[in-house]
Structure 1
Amino acid sequence: MKRVYKDITGNYIFVTVKIMDKEFLIVSLYGPNRDNPEFYVELEERISEVGFENLIIGGDWNLVLDFTLDYYNYKHLNNTKAQEQVDNLMINFDLLDIWRELNPEKRRYTWRRNTPLQQSRLDFFLISDLLSTYVTDVDIEAGYRTDHSMITITLTFGKLEYRNRLLWKFNNSLLKDKTFVNEINDVIKTVIEEYAALPYSREQLPFIPKLDVQFVISDQLFLDVLLMKIRSKTISYATMKKRVDEEKEKDLQNSIQRLETKINLT
């Protein structure tokens, strides 16, 4: 362990470490309960000041990254502005929500209350994209004397040191899938609604040409966010489609097997 940085309010602690000749910045974080994007702006500034080769941020963020998969039984979206700032943090530092990357369609939660029953995945790790090839396990486990679950991550170096980095490639056959195209159009619509400037209302947006919409962030940052959301949706859709195709193939194989057995008997 080389250096330690503490937030005077107690919301985060930075530790710089060296493991097997690799330099890491590890951040343990407790995000604000209220919608406070300034907290994540400050966090990004502090990380930039410290500098890092490999970054791991973990903790209770008090927000979710995917409103569709990470919430259960919520009527309203919470901390939306802070969530947008975490999106920016991920883009600027090239970070991945590694649990979601490895579990694109799975619904698991790390916080819950019973009355009324609500659940959300508030606790997660964001890691440098370059570290993803070394991740051998990431999990959500039972907590102890707390309403939060424990999150764990395992990275293995050495024998994996020279393994090529895995690159995601878009399967362009999906462009012929009408359901996929419709879902991507919905993603584009949602991202536009999230970042459209204040003069627009959600009711007006459908009637404004997309090229004329002004955003509260730069065009380049908007494009980066849009591509990140499209990539995430594509991975989850492709995973679901593959599962359905495999089940269909298995059913066909079983049918063939039954027919062959019937022919042999008769």
Structure 2
Amino acid sequence: MAIQETHLDAGHLATIATLWPSLHVINSAHANATSTAGIAIVLNKSHLLNPEKTSHWEIIPGRALLAQIKWRDREVFILAVYGPNGVQESKDMWSSIDTWLDEHKLEIPAIDIIMGDMNFVEDEIDRVPTRLAAVDEAEESFRSLKLRFDLQDGWRKLNGDRKEYTWRRPGSRERSRLDRIYLKSNWTEESRHWQCKPALPSSDHWMVSVDLTDNLCPEVGEGRWAMPNAVTEDYEFKAILKPRTQQFLRDVKHARANRTTARNPQTVFETFKDDVGQHARSRGAAVGSTAKREEARLDSERKRTENDPTIDEETRQ
């Protein structure tokens, strides 16, 4: 995961390491670490081989951070970026990255993924109102880097002319698809579950995510079933569970005193577990489906409206 506007200093990183030891955070701070810019790559240690040996390079502090990770049998190079708002600053950033990579081409033979807040768009379809802004001129500097490493805007490649936006100006109808993930062209075909979802309530950016698969990896099942938190906190389910638990304790006590092969504490527990599991699944479907249906309906309505050519932009927003 790549995060922008991190504003992290050494104290923040120490706190994160204490609270979330399963995460490996690679941070690149701006000169004014706690007040501007800053970028980080966050890795889940359980998904990596030797996460402590992950290599990284600060190409532009607070703006461009490159990491090399071991994923299965692949060495993957990930470039996380946070583009400036200014036209010239953005052009200079991409030119500097291109030059740096050229100088380190023996050490870094390829870039597999570029992701982050680009702060420019490549096509006017990615802005509302539909137009190209001055900062979008930076696309020319970025293009050579994209072509050099055979990178594609994965979401756009798979979604054609569909409209989706990752940034919204508060109190305005202005919006843009500034946050993007670029993949090597052969990886785009291995990608799935592209999503653009709200991240934090206080953020004006939405989070873009994608699942990358390894075609050589054996298929892994869904794992054991676990009771959803929404069910354990549901009052109706608690009302069902309480008398059954009380009866279960009485049955266990009786089974201990009158143990047989067919009826003993183990068989009583199995019956109780199956009964509770059945009710939990049933209640989970009722609790979850209502919220999911409403979320899906609203998301579908939003996408339909944003992509309806018969609705003018003023009305659409």
Q: TM-score, normalised by structure 2?
A: 0.47
Which residue, 103, 115, 129 being the options, matches 1:58? 115
Cα distance in structure 1, aligned partners of 2:108 and 2:191: 22
Does structure 2 retain, via aligned residues, the 8 Å contact 1:23–1:54?
no
Give the residue type in structure 2 aligned to 1:27: L
Does structure 2 retain, via aligned residues, the 8 Å contact 1:14–1:27?
yes
Cα distance in structure 2, aligned partners of 1:54 and 1:131: 12
Residue 115, structure 1, aligned to residue 167, structure 2: no
Residue 13, structure 1, aligned to residue 65, structure 2: yes
Which digits, 9 at most, give the CA deviation of each residue in 1:59-105, with x for residues without a partner?
Answer: 000000111x1001266623133111112221121110000001111
Q: Which residue of 1 aligns with 2:206?
A: 149
Question: How much does 1:152 deviate?
Answer: 0.4
Which residue, 74, 80, 83 being the options, matches 1:31? 83
Distance 1:54 1:61, change over 3 A: closer
SS at match of 2:87: coil
The 5-angstrom pairing of residues 203-242 of structure 1 reads none
Give the residue type in structure 1 aligned to 2:85: N
Distance 1:100 1:74, change over 3 A: closer
Distance 1:76 1:116, change over 3 A: farther
Give the residue type in structure 2 aligned to 1:94: D
Cα distance in structure 2, aligned partners of 1:75 and 1:97: 19
Give the residue type in structure 1 aligned to 2:160: P
The 5-angstrom pairing of residues 157-172 of structure 1 reads 157-159=214-216
Distance 1:136 1:109, change over 3 A: same
Deviates more, 1:150-159 or 1:1-10: 1-10
Question: How much does 1:116 deviate?
Answer: 3.1
Cα distance in structure 2, aligned partners of 1:76 and 1:82: 11
Q: Which residue of 1 aligns with 2:184?
A: 128
Does structure 2 retain, via aligned residues, the 8 Å contact 1:70–1:120?
yes
Distance 1:11 1:54, change over 3 A: closer
SS at match of 1:157: coil
Question: How much does 1:132 deviate?
Answer: 1.7
Distance 1:16 1:106, change over 3 A: same
Cα distance in structure 2, aligned partners of 1:85 and 1:62: 13
Residue correspondences, number: 160
> Percent identity, aligned pairs only?
27
Question: How much does 1:159 deviate?
Answer: 4.0
Which residue, 156, 159, 162 being the options, matches 1:100? 156
Cα distance in structure 1, aligned partners of 2:187 and 2:99: 22
Which 4+ stretches in 1 moved above 4 angstroms? Answer: none
Cα distance in structure 2, aligned partners of 1:14 and 1:34: 22
Cα distance in structure 1, aligned partners of 2:115 and 2:95: 17
Which digits, 9 at most, give the CA deviation of each residue in 1:140-167, with x for residues without a partner?
Answer: 1112120000010110104479xxxxxx
Distance 1:160 1:129, change over 3 A: farther
Cα distance in structure 2, aligned partners of 1:43 and 1:125: 17
Greater relative contact order structure (CA < 8 Å, 6+ sep): 1
SS at match of 2:99: helix
